[in-house]
Structure 1
Amino acid sequence: MRRWVAAFAIFALFLAGCGRAPASGSEGANAPAPKEQVLRLPLMDEPPELDAQKTTDAVSIDILNAVQEGLVRIGPDGKPRPGVAERWEVSPDGTVYTFYLRKDAKWSNGDPVTAQDFLAGWKRVLAPETASEYSFLLTDYIVGAQDYSNYQRYLMLKEQAEKSPADYRKAYGDRTPAEVVYGEKMDAVPEVTFDAVGVKAKDDRTLEITLLKPIPYIYELLAFPTYFPFHERFYAEHREKYASEASELLYNGPFVLSEWVHGSKVVLAKNPNYWDRDSVSLDRVTFDVLKDVNTAVRLYEGGQIDRVVLSGDLAPKYRQRDDYHVFVEYFTYFLMFNFEKPPFQNEKVRKALAYAVDRKAYAETVLQNGSPPAYGLVPESEPAWAGADTTFRDWSKKMFGGPLFQDVGENPALKEEAKKLLEEGLRESGIPFEKFRFVLLHDDNETTRKAAEFLKASWKQNLGIDVELKQVTFKDRLARMRQGDFEVAYTRWGADYNDPETWLGLFETGAAFNWGKYTNPAYDRALAVARSAGTDLGKRTDAYAEAEKILIRDDMGVAPLDHRAVAYLQKPYVQGLFMRATGASMELKWAKVVR
């Protein structure tokens, strides 16, 4: 979700994922190292999906970033560093990238990592049977990728129509496979092979990528798991259990997954086959699944773990300590409404629920960690574009005269307005006010439980309605949302790359992570204008801001709650443990324990 999170990366018992800064110490610390270096961290949930071509959640993305590697790796300064590619060249127009792979890049079984391994991974992402929700990270940017993906989907539907006509008709009615994929009947669909995609292996160690247009955040995409290499032979031998156990996956990153006790523990060990192993100081990283913050804090204070994120009620207690830190993320928490479940198709109902929550009180009483209230989707500190000297939020406020909406905390008069909107919306939906109940889906960690309880109390106090809270595991929530099995969900998203598109592309009609099925042609048109603006960054940002205004102020298609910050304790002997703005939220490669 992109990271449902989307996106929720928790190497530190919470939801880290954004901002770029060292967690403590520096990359170049040169104090003497202990004989064996072990970093001990809590993990709120075990990784739901360690298949790089399929994963979407931030817990898995963080683990994959440690055990696998793409063409480049994002360094502590936010700039690309060589990964499997030792160097690269870029064409003058910024659309053709040629990567030269290093000879010593190896899989954990000793096989070389080749250009063909990257092509195999990308071909798999585009294959409809993979059902990769991140396939748009290729189809939106690489020449020919969308055409190839469409053709492969057409072939899959054609086969289904021939072999299982009843199932096909149930899903697609009388439409032909061509109509489903291309929007029109076609006597003959032209064949599109993978050769038409703008990715070419010139030889085992030379890889060329041709983009549709210059992409300022291309290196962040290439460092993302969707673009990781893929060992076809290993997959063929382990297909049924692939990526489900430590032994069912190959590794080419700084670490390998040496132990995975489901629901309890994940252990990483230094990868002896990693090309840059001399830069990796840690011998092991242990993650214990700890969903209770108080338990984690006791373990931290007892010297059994090295880092812990604090819940809102604990943060004030530790603010004056030297090991207390705050990190502002590019993470937004929001309510997602299911537009296929009455009455959430009704704009008035959605606005009533959004207005009735006092976000400042929520941030101050539940979070208590510096997280700012959210009145838009794009976070407060995210730039209008990569390298901009103004934030997207400031740009939006200038365009529209302030925040996109208010709530009962900012404007107490909205309490009556919200209740009136709810009554009208329910009446228009044919639902008596006194019979209106809905279920709020949320995760089973402590902070999320408290947030859900705050929302329930707010809606009872300000709207007079009762809400059922449905607490499930992180993995189960993602599965339910994918299947549309929810009414309203408390969820989040973290930036995959440093651009407004990573937020606003989420809710385009038919988008992979648009699980609530929001749709508005005006929103889609605004996105199209932004995407076609080219190097006119002002026009581009205006269009993205207009899209966000439609989504939030006009429609309340989702209801933003907060832009998350993280308060945490970290032992002073932990150095070089860097948190990142986009993609994986934490970088372990350069971490070390200096006692």
Structure 2
Amino acid sequence: MTTFNVPRRTVLAAVPLTAVAVGATSCGFGSEPGQGPSGGGGGGEGATTLRQANRPVNHLNPAFGGGGSPQSSLLMAMIWEGLVNREEGNLSNYVPGMAESWEISEDALNYTFKIRADAKWSNGDPLTADDFVWSFSYYYSPELADQENENNPSKNGSPDVTTIEGLPDYFAGRTTDFSTVGVKAPDPQTLEITLTAPDYSFMNGLVSLYPLHQESVEANVKDFWMPDNLVGNGPYQMTKYSQNSNATFELNEHYWDAENYTITTREVQFNSSGPTGMMVSYNADEIDLFRVDGDPSALISGRPDLEDQLQAATMIQFKGLCVLPCKNPILQENQKLRQALAMSLDREALASVAPPDAPADSWAPTGIEGFDQLPKIPFDPEGAAKLLAEAGHANGEGVPELQIVTYATMPALEAAVEMWKEHLNINAGVAVREVGVFSEYIQGNMPDDFTGLAFNYRGIAPPMMLALVGKNFNNYNYVPNETAKQYFAYKSGDDKDKYPPAEMAEVVDKLLRDNWLPEYREFDTLAKEAVAAQADPEQALQLAVKAATQFQETYLFIPILWAGYTFMVKPRVHNLTFNSLSDSMFSMKGVTLDPLGG
């Protein structure tokens, strides 16, 4: 049995501290810049009000986090706290949250969490292990899946819980008895969770599986998260919310670690115009920070004085081009053609038009342990031309016009197709489509004369090599066109009710496995070997590297850029560390503020 018993965090300051603010706009709080409701923006030895900008959010209900955006995840992490948190600087390691310690059995199937004796809700009610049991039953109830929330699926569909004993049957509606699920509270301070198989991503899912206050949720099912009804357990409580305008968060005096927070108020200004509008507020000194969800180079162009205020988090995200299941299978069937496309891209040049992204010379970004063990993809136009000839397409002969389909205009993609024209004499273009149409292409429902790839952008959570290879990466793309269409017909189309849930899972799995491209089938086998070895982290890492290398060398996915979240941060903000995971972007613990104008 492995035991994790972490001592209480030491006191960093006498006064509690503030944290995040999301959403920027010139919409204020009816006071001078920096003077929030607490009036703590400017005076004293240190300021206590942090001002942030973020895009608007239409709800803060963690039950519908499946389609959650970074902006909503950031705010929810202020209001609630899960059993564990991620360690700053090592996001694949976990530190205490509501659980002050935990034990994991030798076979990694049984987790026992000790809830803090002093854990309380924001209204002063004691928080116990029973609250977590109820929250699990609420999040994964079949009834919840039938509720609204504007394309934000409930947690019922989350793959990160399917290894919890009995939970798949419960959230599929095959049983209504939650006592059959492996989530138990033998006493108020003990939570026991039983898995059916080791799961490297299990702890990652617990970070944002927040406990909910049963009484307040049941009394206000739709709007329990609104200020007048809200009972949370995180470091802050939302005291004001005006959709599309602003929100205010005050330090939760009942939070177990409140004494280590000096920022007591967080003002969030919502700005639907994105980074451009937020930058106006930033330059007017109305906000202290915001996340840049676009190209930051335009924001600081001609302003060298702002370069040090642009901060990037660890790169655990990647951007690339995924071969699609087109009617014309030329890309699926010709590995040397795909490799030629990959080797003809000058990634340094691509990164120069997409700052602060970095050139991705392999699949795994720099924030992933073992990334440097993957082979590098060189920029070698001559070698690429030679491969193209070996593929039977010398000087681009016989290759149809290729298209990169995407949902937004991106200079790096325009540059990539120019490189294919220059180095391989392959005509190519960028097809920008509305998000819904883009999704149709991913599902194989593209025009018959379309041949190409799709832009793909995703993060890796937890940030480890095992997660990179173990998530069935785009497994529905590496099948023939008709198979891809049938797969999505089963998943969300006309045939989604053709079989009972358990049988449907087997039908879909068999459909893919029977039709995968041979290269992808080999990768899947290697990836499963790595996942099976997760009890031995070093062996699992080496097997995961082997699987990642094999997949990278298929060139079914062509990496182009590595990425991470980026932020504009005023010099008055100190000790703030950024991460590239939406539920752990940054913590206000230990953060201090200089007075405005100081």
What range describes the TM-score normalised by the shorter chain of this pair?
0.5 to 0.7
Flag the 1:48–1:289 CA change in 2: closer, same or farther, 3 A. Answer: same
Structure 2: how far apart are the matches of 1:46 and 1:485?
A: 31
Task: Render the CA deviation track for 1:335-379: whole Å, top value 9, x for unaligned.
Answer: 345537765973548667655543221112332x3x432233321
2:577 pairs with 1:578: yes
- 1:395 corresponds in structure 2 to 373
Q: What are the equivalent positions in structure 2 for 1:294-333 lying under 5 Å apart?
A: 294-307=276-289, 309=292, 311-313=296-298, 314=300, 317-318=303-304, 323=309, 325-333=311-319
Q: What are the equivalent positions in structure 2 for 1:128-143 lying under 5 Å apart?
A: 130=145, 131-132=154-155, 135-140=158-163, 142=164
- 1:62 corresponds in structure 2 to 74
Q: CA deviation at 1:267?
A: 4.0
1:289 is matched by which residue type in structure 2? N
Among 492, 495, 499, the residue aligned to 2:460: 495
Aligned residues: 495
Q: What are the equivalent positions in structure 2 for 1:217-228 lying under 5 Å apart?
A: 219-222=203-206, 224-225=207-208, 227-228=209-210
2:396 pairs with 1:411: no
SS across alignment from 1:105: coil
CA contact (8 A) 2:312 2:565 kept: yes
Structure 2: how far apart are the matches of 1:441 and 1:257?
A: 34
Q: CA deviation at 1:564?
A: 1.8
Among 174, 185, 197, the residue aligned to 2:181: 197
Q: What are the equivalent positions in structure 2 for 1:175-574 lying under 5 Å apart?
A: 194-211=178-195, 219-222=203-206, 224-225=207-208, 227-240=209-222, 250-263=231-244, 265-282=246-263, 283-289=265-271, 291=273, 293-307=275-289, 309=292, 311-313=296-298, 314=300, 317-318=303-304, 323=309, 325-339=311-325, 346-348=332-334, 354-355=342-343, 357-367=345-355, 369=356, 371-383=357-369, 392-396=370-374, 402-403=375-376, 405-406=377-378, 409-414=379-384, 433=400, 439-442=405-408, 449-455=410-416, 457-458=418-419, 463-470=426-433, 489-507=454-472, 519=516, 520-554=520-554, 556-564=555-563, 568-574=567-573
CA contact (8 A) 2:400 2:427 kept: no
Flag the 1:232–1:449 CA change in 2: closer, same or farther, 3 A. Answer: farther
Structure 1: how far apart are the matches of 2:46 and 2:203?
A: 35
Task: Render the CA deviation track for 1:62-93: whole Å, top value 9, x for unaligned.
Answer: 22222110112335465644322244445566
Among 100, 117, 137, the residue aligned to 2:114: 100
Q: CA deviation at 1:559?
A: 2.7
Q: CA deviation at 1:209?
A: 2.4
2:39 pairs with 1:39: no
Structure 1: how far apart are the matches of 2:219 and 2:444?
A: 33
Flag the 1:335–1:530 CA change in 2: closer, same or farther, 3 A. Answer: same
Structure 2: how far apart are the matches of 1:330 and 1:301?
A: 29
Flag the 1:125–1:346 CA change in 2: closer, same or farther, 3 A. Answer: farther
Flag the 1:312–1:228 CA change in 2: closer, same or farther, 3 A. Answer: same
- 2:9 corresponds in structure 1 to none
Flag the 1:254–1:342 CA change in 2: closer, same or farther, 3 A. Answer: farther
Task: Render the CA deviation track for 1:74-120: whole Å, top value 9, x for unaligned.
Answer: 35465644322244445566654332323543334554433222123
CA contact (8 A) 1:98 1:208 kept: yes
CA contact (8 A) 2:339 2:384 kept: no
SS across alignment from 2:471: helix
Percentage of pairs with the same residue: 23
SS across alignment from 2:406: strand
CA contact (8 A) 1:46 1:59 kept: yes
Q: CA deviation at 1:574?
A: 0.8
2:112 is matched by which residue type in structure 1? T
Task: Render the CA deviation track for 1:408-452: whole Å, top value 9, x for unaligned.
Answer: x4435526856997979x999xxx936x6564223xxxxx74444
CA contact (8 A) 2:314 2:578 kept: no
CA contact (8 A) 1:42 1:289 kept: yes
CA contact (8 A) 1:441 1:488 kept: no
Structure 2: how far apart are the matches of 1:240 and 1:88?
A: 33
Structure 2 alignment gaps of length 5 or more: 1-19, 25-41, 146-153, 447-451, 488-511
Flag the 1:415–1:242 CA change in 2: closer, same or farther, 3 A. Answer: farther
Flag the 1:480–1:304 CA change in 2: closer, same or farther, 3 A. Answer: farther
Flag the 1:346–1:482 CA change in 2: closer, same or farther, 3 A. Answer: closer
Normalising by structure 2, report the TM-score: 0.67
Flag the 1:212–1:470 CA change in 2: closer, same or farther, 3 A. Answer: same
Flag the 1:345–1:416 CA change in 2: closer, same or farther, 3 A. Answer: closer
Normalising by structure 1, report the TM-score: 0.68
SS across alignment from 1:230: coil
- 1:119 corresponds in structure 2 to 133
